[in-house]
Amino acid sequence: MACILIVEDDAGFQPGWLQHLEPRGHEIVMVATAEEALEVATEKTFDLAVIDLILPGMDGAELIRQLRKDEATCGITIVAFTCMLRQMGLGFDARDRVWLPADEVLDKTEGIEAVAIKIEALLMGSSLRGKMNRGPEANRDDLAKE
C-alpha cells in the first residue's frame, strides 16, 4: 500500500501507529526527530508523513517547511499532528498554511485510531489526484492492468 513516515518523539504514541497502520498494509518508518526525518526522506520515497509539531531540536513546523522546499520531498502528503489545537482553542485554515504548509492538521486528542482513518482518506485522495494529474491515457493503462 503506502509508505508512511511517522515523526513522533513520544514513545507512548509510537506503538499505536504501528498497531493501526501496519495491519492496513502500510510500510511504517518511525523516527523521533526532525533531523532523522530529513535524513531518511532523502533515502526513501514516502507517500505520506505524519509529523508531530513539538519535537526535540528542530520543530515539526520547520521540518514541514524544509520538506516542502526540497524537490524530492515536496510532493509528500503531510499531516501535522499536535495536541496544541484543542488545548489552546486554535483552529487551522488557509491563512495558516504560510507558516505550516501541511495538507492536514490533526489533533492528538482525537486518538490514533480516528487519525488513522483520516490518514486512509488522505491516501485515497492523493492516489486519485495522482491518477488525474497523469492524464486519461495513463488512467486507461492502469485500468488495463487491473
What b/e readout covers 98-115, taking b as 16+ CB neighbours within 10 angstroms? Answer: eebbbbbbbbbeeebeeb
* Predicted local distance difference test score (pLDDT) of residue 7: 97
Rounded alpha-carbon distances, angstroms, from residue 97 to 3, 40, 146: 24, 24, 37
Cα-Cα-Cα-Cα dihedral sign, residues 13, 19, 20, 22? positive
- Range name among 41-50, 58-67, 124-133 with the lowest pLDDT average: 124-133
CATH number for position 39: 3.40.50.2300
* pLDDT tens by residue, 82-135: 876 554 444 555 555 545 778 888 888 788 888 888 899 999 886 544 433 434
Average pLDDT over residues 17-31: 93
Q: How much is the pTM?
A: 0.78
* Predicted local distance difference test score (pLDDT) of residue 139: 35
* Structural domain range at position 104: 3-145
Rounded distance, CA 59 to CA 51, Å?
9
Number of domains in the chain: 1
